[in-house]
Amino acid sequence: MDAQHTYDYDRPTRMLFLGEDRLADGFRLIGFETHPNPDPELVDRTIRELLRGREKAFVVVDDAVMAQDIPSLKRVRREGGRIVVIAVPPLGEQPQLGSEVARRLAALFGNAVVNAKAEP
């Protein structure tokens, strides 16, 4: 194994949260780097830095951030790889399923099925 591969395994995965401040406190308490209420430029810059540094990262954004037109966010969602991005809904809200799979399911079965509340 060459030095580059060894180095990749030794580097920890960064955990970041970018989203509303009410959620940021909880993520900070469990060890995430947090960026409360980020503007689109900060989100774009943060993800570009992860890409440039070839870092491994688990990035959690809120639904509002995910819905914005942020080039680097779209890129990592499209390409996958070292950076995994998921979205969480605002506190007390239903998740907004925005994946290609969710769109296909909605087209086949209707939005009511995709957005149905789970029974306890």
| Same domain flag for 76 and 120 | no
| 31 vs 4, higher pLDDT | 31
What's the number of domains the chain is made of? 2
- Specify whether 50 is located in the same domain as 63: yes
Q: What is the pLDDT of residue 120?
A: 46
Q: At 72, which CATH number?
A: 3.40.50.10580
Judged by phi (left if over 0) then psi (alpha if -120 to 50, else beta), residue 75 lies in: alpha
Verify that 69 and 38 share a domain, yes or no.
yes
| Full residue range of the structural domain in which residue 78 is found | 3-88
Contact 69, 93 (CB under 8 A): no
Share of the chain above pLDDT 90, in %: 57
Indicate whether 98 pLDDT > 90: no
For tokens 């499209």, the residue is: 78
